Amino acid sequence: MLRWFVFVLVYGILSFYVLQALRTVTRYQWVYYLAAAVSLLVLCNFIYQFAFGDTPGRVLSRPKSYAFGFLLAFLAFELIAIVFLFSEDLFRVVSGAYYKISGSSDAFTLPARRRFLSLIGLGLATIPFGALLYGMYKGKYNYKVLKYSLEFDDLPDAFDGYQITQISDVHSGSFDNRKEIEYAVDLVNQQNSDVIFFTGDLVNNKTEEMQPWASLFSTLEAKDGVFSILGNHDYGDYVDWESEEIKFQNLEDLKLLQKNMGFDLLLNESRYLEKGKDKIALVGVENWGRGGFKKAGDLKKASATIAENDFKILLSHDPSHWEDIVIHDDYHYHLTLSGHTHGMQFGIEIPGWVKWSPVKWRYKYWAGIYEEMGQYINVNRGFGFLGYPGRVGIWPEITVITLRKKALT
């Protein structure tokens, strides 16, 4: 209860401060009262959803996600406005004190807040506010196909030009627009890749979230098949289950569902992709993550039936596995495909110029292609969304990677 009281108090102070600036810039009182009412409504909805809603605890339902998203947008507006407005108010206080000390005025008075500076502050604040609202309305379905070509000295000849499509982090429990998902699935198939890899987090928590979408995702097709692994959310660890037996059954149901969808789920095991006499070893591990995430992945077990000199592709959901374990392994894993980070669903990317997201403070390898010790990883930005029901700057991704045999020089 105390945390809710503190939260409401802080939010109220921030809102009141910003609303005073709004009162400065408009002569129409109804604008001020409307803004105050909307701010209060957003706060009340957030408290209701997280304290009294149908899904208490850690489960992020759609109503909870949208309550969080709207609150985040308002907080972003208030914080940006306050940074600007507070600097002006500080100047006003200093100016008033100076006039008092210098004897220029018999009584201490503050200069009036200037209307145009309030307009600038509020105007700047509308940028993140509008971006976050756009991210909830359109950004989360703004699918991008990102294409890469990677060269390897020891790629088997028959696989020169072999094309991979990777998707990750579907989070089907967050979907709210079937038409957009149909478009995205069709976009995956349009790539006409040789193989499709899905690198974990099919659901937010429960297998039932995927049931309405299973028939759609079962239409994914590639010449050499669709292969998948589990992500941290697939295990149902973020739900307060009635019993361990029910939790176990949920995971078994998810495995069966993937099989029925035509996905070949790799659970610390391997397969061979073959073209004529040449082959590539495909290795898939269960989730292994740093910092409290499940460590069910067993790289040694998964690679037990492949040879050291095989060309290897590894599917591992969390890129921290690659950083901490994979690149230091005795086996050389030529290409690892991961996801997990979502690029935090927020950032700025201008190809060739800027690539930034706050998630970089948690993950060294958080989006795109990286190379270490002669080994590559692609960290997919994710197909779906979780928590904040949108994306800003870091768009949902379909990755297409073409393998090339490096030419002799």
**What is the per-residue pLDDT across 103-136, written as a single tens digit (0 to 9) for each?**
655 554 545 556 667 778 788 889 999 999 999 9
CA 86, CA 151: separation in Å to the nearest integer? 53
Residue-level pLDDT at 94: 65
CA 55, CA 63: separation in Å to the nearest integer? 9
323 to each of 111, 197, 269, 298, how far by Cα in Å? Answer: 56, 20, 20, 15
| Cα torsion angle, 4, 10, 12, 18, sign | negative
CB atoms within 10 A of CB 183: 12
> Rounded to a whole number, what is the largest CA-CA distance in the chain?
96
CA 206, CA 233: separation in Å to the nearest integer? 9
Q: Which amino acid is at 22?
A: L
Residue-level pLDDT at 81: 86
Composition of the chain by helix, strand, coil, percent to 5: 45, 20, 35
Contact at 8 Å (CB) between 207 and 264? no
Residue-level pLDDT at 23: 78
Look up tokens 């009262």; give the residue. 33
Residue-level pLDDT at 227: 98
CA 11, CA 18: separation in Å to the nearest integer? 11
CA 205, CA 234: separation in Å to the nearest integer? 6
Distance of CA 368 to the CA centre of its chain: 13
18 to each of 24, 81, 82, how far by Cα in Å? Answer: 10, 7, 7
Contact at 8 Å (CB) between 265 and 258? yes
CA 399, CA 104: separation in Å to the nearest integer? 67
Q: Where are the alpha helices (DSSP H) in 170-318?
A: 178-190, 214-217, 244-260, 299-302
Name the token pair of 374: 């002669």
Q: What 8-state DSSP symbol labels residue 281? A: E
Return the percentage of the chain with pLDDT > 90, whole number: 72
Q: Is residue 401 exposed (0-12), middle (13-18) or buried (19+ Cβ within 10 Å)?
A: buried
pLDDT under 70 in the chain at which residues? 53-59, 87-100, 102-116, 409
Residue-level pLDDT at 5: 81
Look up tokens 């269960």; give the residue. 286
Reported pTM: 0.90
- Beta strand 226-228 pairing with 195-198: parallel
Give, for 7, the enclosing helix (H) or strand (E): helix 2-25
Q: Domains of the chain by range and CATH?
A: 2-137 (no CATH), 142-405 (3.60.21.10)
CA 267, CA 340: separation in Å to the nearest integer? 17
**What is the per-residue pLDDT across 192-211, written as a single tens digit (0 to 9) for each?**
999 999 999 999 999 999 99
